[in-house]
Amino acid sequence: MNIGIDARPLSLTSSGIPRYLSSIVHELERIDHENNYFLYSRFDFGLPFENSRWHKRIHPRVPFLFGHGYLRGETRGPGLDIFWATRHIFPFGIPPTAVKLLTVYDFVWRFFPHTMELGNYAMHRLLCQRSIRSADSFITISEATRQSLVDVLGSNSKGISVIYPGVDSSFRPCDGETSSRLISQHYGTSEKYVCTVGTIEPRKNLITLIKALRVLCDRGPFPYQLLIAGQPGWKSSEIYASVERCGLTEREIKFVGRVRDEDLPAFYSGARVFVLPSLYEGFGIPLVEAMACGVPIVASRTSSVPEVVEDALSWSRPSARRVLLRPLFAWHRIRVYVAG
């Protein structure tokens, strides 16, 4: 078969969807020597292909959603048998004979539109339902998202496959003291820290986390620095401003930016606690990465989060972790999960 893939996420920064797609493409290239793959993107991406059946199709001058006639033109002859849309939305111009596979990660645009940039929300609002109606099959990354696809948009559950993201084998428990020392040296942080990982944007509920840290500091000396790892996103300035409003300094909290992939396992392993107070997650890859590294987790009880971490649930924690839990619980529905 000839399989077309929307490869645009592979040219983006290393956030959830690019990491998810990169891992799948890497494994498919390794195991599949029968089918032909055509990966379409406006910008080049770093994955080199050793399998001769894999082909990049880079078109920097052609908008992805519009003018996609080259999907037909470049695969004349047998044509595309399958087109896999990896980012919620099908481009125009997919050959009518191709089976259309759509990955649906979440329904942020439906449930939390106020956490999205206006242009991004409008695009999803206009085009996601169109894509869902025209899809032949679906992949969702959690049961929670599958249920939303069925309930909210009235889709039939037939043809929906739940395929959970995995994590790279580099994510495994490391010595905590060695890891925290390495992170301190590389990023100029305290060796005693709690952390969170994700794009700096409203949906991650970081202002609540910052307020919780203020409460902890008011109750007495809090020996841990809060490290927030991730790239700035939409409305990130409001999140940064909340630190000043809460009277916190870099001694209590530090935005470390994007943590290098090779440092992420140590970043998790060196933390006393990993925190994910997000308002909504389609899956939550950092949760699985943190659990793979054996780190205690504080997470919001919403959307897919309980599904991802439910087998690791525990309420019996040492006193220091219960202290962290109480103020968070006061602001949001928070439970503590521990990787077993």
Q: What is the pLDDT of residues 169-196, one digit of tens each?
A: 899 999 999 999 999 999 999 999 999 9
Q: Is the pTM of this model over 0.85?
A: no
- Mean pLDDT value of segment 42-70: 73
For 299-324, the DSSP string reads EE--TTHHHHHGGGB-----HHHHHH
pLDDT tens per residue across span 200-213: 999 999 999 999 99
> Which tens digits make up the pLDDT trace of 77-121?
458 899 999 988 888 778 888 999 999 999 999 899 988 888 888
Q: What CA–CA distance (Å, rounded) separates 34 from 228?
A: 43
State the pLDDT at residue 72. Answer: 52
Bridge partners of 193, per DSSP, are 225
pLDDT of residue 28 exceeding 70, the answer is: yes
Share of the chain above pLDDT 70, in %: 84
Q: What is the mean pLDDT of the chain?
A: 84
Q: How many residues does the chain have?
A: 340
Instruction: Measure Cα distances from 181 to 226, 256, 262 in Å.
Output: 15, 15, 15
All structural domains of the chain, each given as residue ranges with its CATH number in brackets, are 2-162 (3.40.50.2000), 176-338 (3.40.50.2000)
Best CA proximity match to 255, nearest among 279, 237, 280: 237
Q: At 28, list the tokens.
A: 């498919």
CA 90 to chain CA mean position, Å = 20
Backbone torsions φ then ψ of 307, nearest 5 degrees: -60, -40
Q: Which of 131, 138, 145 is nearest to 160 (CA)?
A: 138
Query: Do residues 196 and 209 touch, judged by C-beta distance below 8 A?
Result: yes
| Most distant CA pair in the chain, distance | 72
Cα-based distances in Å from 107 to 124, 128, 308 = 9, 9, 17
CA distance 279 to 299: 10
